[in-house]
Chains A and B, each alone.
Chain A
Amino acid sequence: MLRILYSDLRRTLVNRLFIGCLSTNIAYQVGTAVLLKMIMWFAFKDNITGEDISFVYSSIGIFLVTVSTLIIVSDFSEGTMRNKLISGAKRSDVFISTIFTSSFMGMAQAATAFVTESILRFFLGGELISYTIPELADFWIILTLASVSVAVFSTSMIMMIGGKKIAYFVGLLIAFAFKIISMEVTDKLYPDSGNVTLTGFKLAIYTFYDRFVPYAYFSIRPHWDTGSYILGCVGLMAISTIIGLLVFNKKELQ
């Protein structure tokens, strides 16, 4: 198991796609923050807030994390999966090792984003308005966990679908669907004007989605207690690992 994990991690670290995703992450944050700073400066003669810089990652996080996990599909298409099994590793070991690798990918994206935004906040001089430093730290812990759980979910989908071409698209399409759902939920639960009009079962479903589904954490600034967020992330990770493990153990490998 450790051997497989070691080789998986090593391959991830030198993979061009993964490094490209990390660079995109940095470039996107720097670009957006500088652009925002310029717009605020020239159009409104105002400085940007720390929150503006800090929350840039949430708009691109899901996409980056899901794209990085696509590296795993090549295990199937290039036949590495069979070689791993021939070398004596158990299926569950292979699966768990992949899950760990993808967790690392999610964590690396969030950590890179955190370091970038800290440096940007220092140099561009955005002061925090409505969040304190401990709250921001909380937010980054949640975002890291959410990135990890999105990565684990996407990996589990890939491992279940396996070598088919559609595996490249499933995670990304799910992320896109969740993006639309998140917009609808945010719009209904936190309307710009007036009260919430939802009642009963629908309200419960929307609240559950907002509180416990990690895909929603990227769409709006944190407002629930940290416990709910952690429960949501851990829950998604556990469910996808268990279902993925069950399916992958019975799966036909071509």
Chain B
Amino acid sequence: MFNLYKANLRRLTGNIFFIGGCAIALAVTFCFSKNILSMEFLGGRSAEARMYFVSSAMIVFFTLIVPIFTNMEYSDGTIRNKIIAGHSQKNIYLSYLLAYFTQALIMWGVYMAAGFLGGAKPSVHFIMTNIIMLFAIFNYIATMMFIAFRFKKIIFAAAGSILILNICFNSILFGNLIVMLAEGRMPLLVSSLYNISALGQWFVYTGFCADEANPGMPVQILISLIIVLGTTFLGTLKINKRDLA
């Protein structure tokens, strides 16, 4: 398992996609927090808020990376070699998941560093919101991993992963509608529903969102952990008995 993880990590962090992605993350985050690049609706906001707004790009990045690299197991036939070497499919799944988590952690580190370079001031709230974002990305990666590993044809993995991205995005719109219709009733239920999707958790701290959508940081981290555990459980359920063709 640890060997698989090391092998994956070397492959995933050494490739041009990831290095390029990190370079873009560095450049874009720096430009946004330094206010070299900006959008109209971000005008007059603090460096921290501008920087935080960009972090959603990491979610789009992992929509691409996770299905493409996971599917290479099937298209290149590596998974059978790994099984011949004595690893189980469950271990392969978990090693990929951990490797993507590490990748996300590295990218998040780059993003934070770029933000500080660009003039974001560290405060407890700022650090905490970004840690929530990191957990939201973990939650998203776990969902993507479930789709990418369960579908052996990349065409279904691609359609499924973009569908999840669309659902995450639409859930913000529906979430806002539900928050508006609920008018303060059942606050924990409504806000938890809002925070199931990674983009929902992101949107809560952008400053464009109603306060009712925020269930508090512990609940958000708890939701992310539940989703990570749930999708991993579903993803590895009876996976060792699966036919690989």
Most buried by A among B72, B155, B158: B158
Shortest Cβ gap from B74 to chain A (Å) = 12
- A253: chain B residues within 8 A (beta carbon): none
Question: Nearest chain-A residue to B154 (Cβ)?
Answer: A168
- The answer to whether A176 and B165 touch (CB under 8 A), given A165-B68, A165-B71, is yes
| B163 CB within 8 Å of chain A | yes
Which residues B44-87 have CB closer than 8 A to chain A? 60, 63-64, 67-68, 71-72, 75
| A80 CB within 8 Å of chain B | no
Which residues B141-195 have CB closer than 8 A to chain A? 154-156, 158-159, 162-163, 165-166, 169
- B162: chain A residues within 8 A (beta carbon): 63, 169, 172-173, 176
- A63 near B166 (CB under 8 angstroms)? yes
- A172 near B155 (CB under 8 angstroms)? no
| A118 CB within 8 Å of chain B | no
- A70: chain B residues within 8 A (beta carbon): 155, 158-159
- Complex partner residue of B158 from A77, A168, A179, CB under 8 angstroms: A168
Number of interface residues of A (CB under 8 A): 17
Which residues A167-193 have CB closer than 8 A to chain B? 168-169, 172-173, 176, 179-180
Q: How large is the interface on B (under 10, 10 to 19, 20 to 34, 35 or more residues)?
A: 10 to 19
- A71: chain B residues within 8 A (beta carbon): 155
Most buried by B among A71, A172, A173: A172
A70 to B156, CA, bound (A): 10
- A169 near B158 (CB under 8 angstroms)? yes
- A173: chain B residues within 8 A (beta carbon): 60, 63-64, 162
Most buried by A among B71, B75, B162: B162
- B155 near A74 (CB under 8 angstroms)? yes
| A237 CB within 8 Å of chain B | no
- B155: chain A residues within 8 A (beta carbon): 17, 70-71, 73-74, 168
A70 to B166, CA, bound (A): 17
Digitize A98-120: 1 where CB-to-B-CB distance is under 8 Å, 0 elsewhere. Answer: 00000000000000000000000
Those 5 A-B pairs whose CB atoms lie nearest each other, nearest first: A168-B158, A172-B162, A67-B159, A165-B68, A70-B155
26 A-B residue pairs with CB within 8 Å: A17-B155, A17-B159, A63-B162, A63-B163, A67-B159, A70-B155, A70-B158, A73-B155, A77-B75, A165-B68, A165-B72, A166-B64, A168-B154, A169-B63, A169-B67, A169-B68, A172-B159, A173-B60, A173-B63, A173-B64, A173-B162, A176-B162, A176-B165, A176-B169, A179-B166, A180-B169
Binding site for A on B (CB under 8 A): 60, 63-64, 67-68, 71-72, 75, 154-156, 158-159, 162-163, 165-166, 169
